């Protein structure tokens, strides 16, 4: 039977290599080498690179959900402050990688979505699930008078997540926090400002 630990090592290595080289550019050989695993082990554990990438993406999204739980789920803060706390936490995490790595969901959206129906469908499902806790938090802020209620909470949540991916994209070229900080500075003084 295939060793489960090797499976996890391969998935961890997959996240590293695919964050660096994208879906198309990542070879099974390189992923196995990164995991210090024999190349044959890959095919013991995964049906295809596509199936593997889907699992890498799912594990990444679990990680994102944990960060959402830590921030959006923190009832000691007001709902508007929780939104800000999420973006601040992500900023810190991206800074730990010196702003060279972005978000695998964004990376795959630009590249893998065109290559694989399986991955595109999974990305669409992830985006649909991702915006829910944001929309809930925004709706709570709107109900509390902390945010303007002109737009539906789901629209604002989609806008926030998409625009934030754009800020991360810009960060990968700048290699510093400024695009992220600019986004927060402007967004929280306009779209997500407290009504007077």
Q: Shortest CA distance to 104 belongs to which of 26, 186, 35?
A: 26
The residue among 78 and 115 lying less far from a second copy, judged by its C-beta, is 115
Alpha-carbon distance 91 to 99, whole Å? 9
Q: Shortest CA distance to 11 belongs to which of 50, 39, 53, 47?
A: 53
If binding is defined by CB under 8 A, does position 183 make contact with a second copy? yes
Residues in the chain, how many?
Answer: 196
Which residues, 121 to 160, sit near a second copy by CB under 8 A? Answer: 123-124, 127, 150-151, 155-156, 158-159
Token readout for 175 is: 């290699």
* Candidate list 111, 118, 136, 177; residue touching a second copy; CB under 8 A: 111
If binding is defined by CB under 8 A, does position 21 make contact with a second copy? yes
Alpha-carbon distance 39 to 61, whole Å? 26
Which among 36-44, 50-58, 59-67, 167-175 is the span making contact with a second copy, rule CB under 8 A?
Answer: 167-175
Positions touching a second copy (CB under 8 A) are 20-25, 100-102, 106-107, 109-111, 113-115, 120, 123-124, 127, 150-151, 155-156, 158-159, 161-167, 169-170, 172-175, 179, 182-183, 185-186, 189-191
């Amino acid at each position: 039977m295939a060793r489960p630990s090797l499976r996890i090592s391969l998935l961890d290595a997959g996240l590293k290599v695919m964050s660096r080289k994208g879906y198309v550019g990542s070879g099974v050989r390189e992923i196995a080498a990164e995991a210090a695993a024999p190349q044959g082990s890959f095919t013991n554990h995964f049906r295809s690179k596509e199936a593997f990438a889907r699992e890498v993406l799912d594990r990444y999204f679990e990680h994102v959900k944990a960060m959402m739980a830590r921030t959006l789920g923190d009832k000691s803060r007001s709902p508007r402050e929780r939104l800000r706390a999420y973006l601040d936490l992500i900023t810190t995490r991206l800074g730990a990688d010196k702003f060279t790595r972005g978000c695998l969901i964004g990376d795959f959206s630009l590249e893998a979505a065109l290559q694989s129906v399986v991955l595109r469908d999974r990305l669409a499902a992830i985006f649909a699930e991702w915006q829910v806790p944001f929309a809930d938090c925004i709706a709570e802020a709107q109900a509390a008078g902390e945010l303007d209620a002109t737009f539906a909470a789901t629209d604002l949540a989609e806008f926030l997540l998409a625009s934030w991916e754009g800020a991360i994209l810009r960060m990968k070229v700048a290699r510093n926090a400024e695009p992220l900080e600019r986004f927060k500075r402007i967004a929280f003084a306009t779209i997500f400002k407290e009504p007077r």
